[in-house]
Structure 1
């Protein structure tokens, strides 16, 4: 029996799925002038704002420089604001504006619907196993 890259290569399968996910998200977010990367920031701040750029970069597993560029764009769109951190004068804290919070709330429901469609026909127990396995793969590679 030969090796079939489509069936067994974890890297290939993860990449293929990630690309498909990003395409669908990009199409869904396009009418709102938001990229998947910008959505990632908005959704994190929607769950918990008042965090630093460093904390945000750790939460979404991106370097601070690339996050800074995304933050600049979101700030120009009046979706976030940066405020001085009262405990560290070298840092600032990130907050959603009212406009940003309203947009994030709308987009979170759209993205949840996309994820629900993606997981159609998959038992909840299988999703739980998948999440456990994918997180272990990540920890193994860290």
Structure 2
């Protein structure tokens, strides 16, 4: 099992490194891409929701949003229901950047999974989802035992 866990971690690291190299040409790093991609799917998230969704600290997401706002890719808007909160939105200028990054990611994944047929990819997807589900269930059980 140790070797399998190592292979999963190293594969994840290789994917991240490869994406970083490809995205660097667009002037966006992986962390920024994650913010843009999340907002593409769920525009208008509160800053704290975005931090939770990306599993980063609120101070970290604040800095990332600052940089993206300086680049004109996102904007903060006051939350209508909570004066202390900000909602984050993609700007119109973000659309072409997000589209280019999506193409970069699509090419990277096509290269990464070259030579695998659809059945193999479905099986891999299912197995990885099962691993995540097992860990999520274990985490929920541990949280209940701790309380």
Normalized against structure 2, the TM-score is what? Answer: 0.82
* Matching residue of 2:38: 44
Deviates most, 55-64 or 100-109: 55-64
Give me the whole-angstrom Cα distance separating, in 2, the residues matched to 1:20 and 1:85: 38
Distance verdict in 2 for CA 1:60–1:129, change over 3 Å: farther
Give me the whole-angstrom Cα distance separating, in 1, the residues matched to 2:59 and 2:130: 27
RMSD over aligned CA atoms reads: 1.9
Give me the whole-angstrom Cα distance separating, in 1, the residues matched to 2:84 and 2:100: 33
* Matching residue of 2:114: 120
Q: Is residue 11 of structure 2 the alignment partner of residue 9 of structure 1?
A: no
Question: Deviation at 1:21?
Answer: 0.9
Residues 77-116 of structure 1 aligned to structure 2 (within 5 Å): 77-116=71-110
- Native 8 Å contact 1:81 1:94 kept in 2: yes
Q: Is residue 35 of structure 2 the alignment partner of residue 30 of structure 1?
A: no
Give me the whole-angstrom Cα distance separating, in 2, the residues matched to 1:67 and 1:36: 13
Give me the whole-angstrom Cα distance separating, in 2, the residues matched to 1:140 and 1:105: 34
Q: Count how many residue pairs are aligned between Structure 1 and Structure 2.
A: 136
- Native 8 Å contact 1:82 1:92 kept in 2: yes
* Matching residue of 2:145: none
Q: 5+ residue gaps in structure 2?
A: 140-147
Question: Deviation at 1:23?
Answer: 1.4
